């Protein structure tokens, strides 16, 4: 099993992702955070195999979180989520592993995570 951490300031997106992942993919949810600041500390403590984060959050954006994580864990796969596809370009420039468009589609979540298993 691979450990995954979820970050979003909107609880319903975290709940939705958990429902899409649990029992259907070889991932276990290590934890979730509601902002980038707590997520940065949790990543250090939990050492996940994958991080999925929203882009727009108070305190620290998902892009800033990705940038800071790249400095301390350059190989951690990061997947960004947003309802604005233009953030995908910014994410890929930072070296993220994937982008999920909100509202989330279960098949896209599975496809994105399964692609990480093949790398």
> pLDDT at position 119, please?
56
Q: 2-98: which CATH architecture? A: 3-Layer(aba) Sandwich (3.40)
How far is the C-alpha of 71 from the C-alpha of 113, rounded, in Å?
23
How far is the C-alpha of 79 from the C-alpha of 45, rounded, in Å?
19
Domain regions of the chain by residue span: 2-98
For 48-102, write each residue's pLDDT tens digit.
999 999 999 999 999 999 999 999 999 999 999 999 999 999 999 999 999 999 9
For 31-60, write each residue's pLDDT tens digit.
999 999 999 999 999 999 999 999 999 999
Model confidence band, residue 106 (pLDDT cutoffs 50, 70, 90): very high
How far is the C-alpha of 98 from the C-alpha of 63, rounded, in Å?
13
How far is the C-alpha of 71 from the C-alpha of 14, rounded, in Å?
25
Claim: this prediction has a pTM higher than 0.75: yes
């Amino acid at each position: 099993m691979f450990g995954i951490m979820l970050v979003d300031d909107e609880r319903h997106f975290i709940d939705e992702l958990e429902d899409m992942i649990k029992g259907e993919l070889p991932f276990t949810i290590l934890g979730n955070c509601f902002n980038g600041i707590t997520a940065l500390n949790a990543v250090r403590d939990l050492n996940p195999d994958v991080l999925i984060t929203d882009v727009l959050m108070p305190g620290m954006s998902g892009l800033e979180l990705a940038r800071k994580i790249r400095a301390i864990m350059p190989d951690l796969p990061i997947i960004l989520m947003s309802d604005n596809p233009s953030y995908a370009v910014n994410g890929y420039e930072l070296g993220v592993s994937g982008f999920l468009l909100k509202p989330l589609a279960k098949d896209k979540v599975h496809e994105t995570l399964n692609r990480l298993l093949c790398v």
